[in-house]
């Protein structure tokens, strides 16, 4: 079996690895590390939680250790671009672990923190800079950092950069980096646009793939529960009470929806926090620390948190709102069952979300097991509120003073036909379905405004 030592990594790196939980290379690490150490450009495809950070970080640091002199004022040697602050923090923390006992300097720059302090940290340069695109452009325009001597470019979670509209930022940044460089691109999914980016920025890359693009971790138990939108909060409460004290990650589509849901769950006695793009970096760091240390059991998040949360204790992922980008489903449920552990994922599907569910199942090339309700009939899907029609709708449970109150009204005043609060989640009465759940729903609906 392959070992890190057999891969030829520097003794200093091997010594740092002795203090970590990394004992043997994962498949993506075993395949990517030798290629990167040889100086090849690389396109890496692997599921989330399989060790992509070490796959590019260890060989990159191995090459940097051979240089032997400081980078120079405001200069950097290696740039790692990521789409979210959470992922940047995760990578920075991993690199700090990998570089223990070496002179390698690692700096992180992200939005939501003091740009002046970040500029100060770059005055003497850095060997590795982990950055989100927007903040890096700010620093370049201020003259606080130079990429003229950057010999390594890493694009991590490149598909999510596309989803978040960072392609234009990437083009602006790439103009400042020498053409003579080593470029590495890593992702868990492979949309068509990623191929175009690889052809633009990578030179004769080797492709390393340890799982089909878009395939979630094997040890995640998945399922779907069909439920009216206004009844989702009570259903979530039932599932959370089945696993008291176990870390759960709940995904909401909108920032406002995440805050509202977290407030309701707190009123019902759960230890809960919310994280999204409107929170400052200090707030996000504090909530993630509380979640990691077990002070918070339930974390409600938008997709900004689907990349970069590496907390092994997460056992349950709930898609309170179906993702409007099917690839995000893979990244969401990849927050559990990390590093070989087991986990579960449950998606709540309202009538207006049938289209999103079908897109996810098309990506997965399989149907999700039905754990409650039945697929919505075509007429129910057609009558579901379209974007903006249910503006102002609150999570069920905010309407009444008692946490145990029955379901409220859904949408534009129509009675909810979802489960009563005391009902078992698996016994929900489907609206528009009936009998044995069909896996070929009668119609699709456009995405509604949920959360």
Same domain as 201, residue 259: no
Residue 406 has pLDDT above 80, yes or no: no
Assess if residue 445 is contained within a domain.
no
Same domain, 387 and 269: yes
User: Which of 187, 209, 231 represents a domain boundary (last residue)?
Assistant: 209
Same domain membership, residue 205 and residue 227: no
* DSSP assignment of 70-96: ---TTBEEEEEE-SSHHHHHHHHHHHH
Q: In terms of pLDDT, which residue wins out, 51 or 11?
A: 11
pLDDT band at 20 (very low <50, low <70, confident <90, very high): confident
* Span between the terminal Cα atoms of the chain, in Å: 47
Residues 175 and 224 in one domain: no
Please check whether residues 123 and 180 belong to one and the same domain. Answer: yes
- Name the DSSP letter for residue 206: E
| Residue 441 belongs to some domain of the structure | no
Q: What is the pLDDT of residues 160-181, one digit of tens each?
A: 777 667 888 999 999 999 999 9
Q: Inform me whether the pLDDT recorded for 234 exceeds 70.
A: yes
Burial label for 321, CB within 10 Å (0-12, 13-18, 19+), is: buried
Which carries the bigger pLDDT value, residue 125 or residue 70? 125
Lowest mean pLDDT among 162-171, 382-391, 394-403: 394-403
- Output the pLDDT for position 164: 65
Residue 127 forms part of a structural domain: yes
Quick one: average pLDDT of 206-234? 82
Domain edge (last residue) among 209, 228, 253: 209
Let me know whether 279 and 187 are in one domain.
Answer: no
Pairwise pLDDT comparison (129 vs 70), residue with the higher score: 129
User: Given this model, what pLDDT does residue 404 score?
Assistant: 36
Does position 97 have pLDDT exceeding 50, yes or no? yes
Is residue 138 over pLDDT 70?
Answer: yes
pLDDT(195) > 50: yes
The pLDDT assigned to 76 comes to 97
Q: CA quadruple 214, 217, 223, 224: dihedral positive or negative?
A: negative
Report the pLDDT value the prediction gives residue 182, as an integer from 0 to 100. Answer: 97
Integer CA distances (angstroms), 230 to 10, 109, 234, 360, 384, in order: 56, 40, 9, 22, 12
- 343 beta partners: 220
Structure confidence by residue, pLDDT tens digits, 293-302: 899 999 999 9
The count of domains in the chain is 2
* Buried/exposed code over 117-149 (b: 16+ C-beta within 10 A; e: otherwise): ebbebbeebbbbbbbbbebbebbbeeebbbbee
pLDDT over 70 at 391, yes or no: no
- Going by pLDDT thresholds of 50, 70 and 90, the confidence category of residue 437 is very low
Both 224 and 183 in one domain: the answer is: no
DSSP string, 299-333: EEE-GGGTTT---TTEEEEEESS--SSHHHHHHHH
Q: Structure tokens of 343?
A: 């986990």
Q: How confident is the model at residue 202 (pLDDT cuts 50, 70, 90)?
A: very high
Q: 62 and 172, same structural domain? A: yes
* Reported confidence tier of residue 232, pLDDT bands at 50, 70, 90: very high
Q: What average pLDDT score do residues 65-71 get?
A: 84
User: Does 236 lie in the same domain as 190?
Assistant: no
| Segments of 395-444 assigned E as strands | none
Residue 240: its pLDDT value, please?
Answer: 95
Are the CB atoms for 9 and 174 separated by under 8 Å? no
305 occurs within a structural domain = yes
Check whether residue 260 and residue 389 sit in a common domain: yes
Q: Does the pTM exceed 0.85?
A: no
Let me know whether 400 and 280 are in one domain. yes
Looking at per-residue pLDDT, the higher value among 20 and 422 belongs to 20
CATH number at residue 373: 3.40.50.300
Residue 441 pLDDT > 90, yes or no? Answer: no
What lies within 8 Å, CB to CB, of 56 at 6+ separation is 32, 36, 42, 44, 154, 156, 184, 186
E strand residue ranges, 333-442: 343-349, 370-372
Tell me the residue range of the domain where 298 lies: 220-427
Percent of the residues in the chain that have a pLDDT greater than 90, as a whole number: 52
Residue 108 in tokens: 């992180």
Task: Kindly report which listed range (68-82, 117-131, 304-318, 403-417) carries the lowest average pLDDT score.
Answer: 403-417
* Residue partners of 287: CB distance under 8 A and separation at least 6: 273, 274, 275, 279, 296, 299
Residue 278 lies in a domain: yes
From CA 78, how far away is CA 70, in angstroms rounded?
A: 13
Based on the fold, state whether residues 204 and 84 are members of the same structural domain: yes
Question: Among 90-104, 264-278, 434-448, whose mean pLDDT is lowest?
Answer: 434-448
Q: Name the token pair of 430.
A: 């489907």
Q: What is the mean pLDDT of the segment spanning 259-266?
A: 96
Of 148, 183, 209, which residue is a domain's last? 209
Whether 439 maps to a domain, the answer reads: no
Quick check: is 187 in a domain? yes
Let me know if residue 175 belongs to a domain.
yes
What does the pLDDT read at residue 206?
94
Asked if residues 428 and 373 have their Cβ atoms less than 8 Å apart, the reply is: yes
């Amino acid at each position: 079996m392959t070992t890190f030592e057999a891969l030829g990594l520097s003794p200093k790196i091997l010594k740092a690895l002795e203090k970590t939980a990394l004992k043997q290379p994962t498949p993506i690490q075993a395949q990517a590390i030798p290629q990167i150490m040889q100086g090849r450009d690389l396109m890496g495809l692997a599921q989330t939680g399989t060790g992509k950070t070490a796959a590019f970080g260890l060989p990159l640091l191995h090459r940097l250790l051979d240089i032997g002199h400081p980078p120079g004022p405001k200069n950097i040697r290696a740039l790692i671009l990521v789409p979210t602050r959470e992922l940047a923090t995760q990578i920075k923390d991993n690199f700090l672990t990998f570089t223990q006992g070496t002179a390698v300097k690692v700096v992180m720059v992200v939005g939501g923190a003091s740009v002046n302090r970040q500029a100060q940290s770059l005055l003497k340069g850095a060997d590795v800079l982990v950055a989100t695109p927007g903040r890096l452009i700010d620093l370049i325009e201020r003259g606080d950092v130079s990429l003229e001597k950057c010999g390594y470019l890493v694009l991590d979670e490149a598909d999510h950069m596309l989803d978040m509209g960072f392609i234009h930022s990437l083009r602006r940044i790439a103009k400042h980096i020498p053409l003579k460089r080593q470029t590495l691109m890593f992702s868990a999914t492979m949309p068509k646009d990623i191929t175009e980016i690889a052809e633009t920025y990578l030179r004769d890359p080797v492709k390393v793939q340890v799982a089909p693009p878009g395939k979630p971790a094997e040890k995640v138990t998945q399922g779907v529960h069909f439920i009216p939108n206004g009844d989702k909060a009570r259903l979530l409460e039932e599932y959370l009470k089945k696993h008291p004290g176990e870390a759960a990650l709940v995904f909401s589509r909108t920032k406002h929806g995440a805050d509202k849901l977290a407030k309701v769950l707190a009123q019902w006695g759960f230890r809960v926090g919310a994280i999204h793009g409107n929170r400052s970096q200090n707030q996000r760091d504090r909530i993630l620390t509380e979640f990691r240390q077990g002070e918070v059991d339930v974390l409600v998040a938008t997709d900004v948190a689907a990349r970069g949360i590496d907390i092994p204790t997460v056992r349950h992922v709930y898609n309170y709102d179906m993702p409007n980008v099917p690839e995000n489903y893979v990244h969401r449920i990849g927050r559990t069952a990390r590093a070989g552990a087991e986990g579960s994922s449950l998606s709540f599907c309202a009538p207006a979300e049938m289209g999103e569910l079908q897109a996810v199942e098309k990506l997965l090339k399989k149907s999700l097991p039905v754990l409650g309700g039945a697929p919505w009939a075509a007429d129910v899907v057609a009558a579901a509120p379209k974007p903006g029609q249910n503006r102002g709708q609150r999570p069920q449970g905010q309407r009444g003073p008692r946490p145990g109150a029955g379901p409220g009204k859904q949408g534009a005043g129509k009675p909810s036909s979802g489960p009563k609060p005391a009902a078992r989640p698996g016994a929900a009465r489907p609206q528009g379905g009936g009998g044995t759940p069909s896996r070929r729903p009668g119609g699709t609906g456009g995405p509604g405004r949920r959360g």
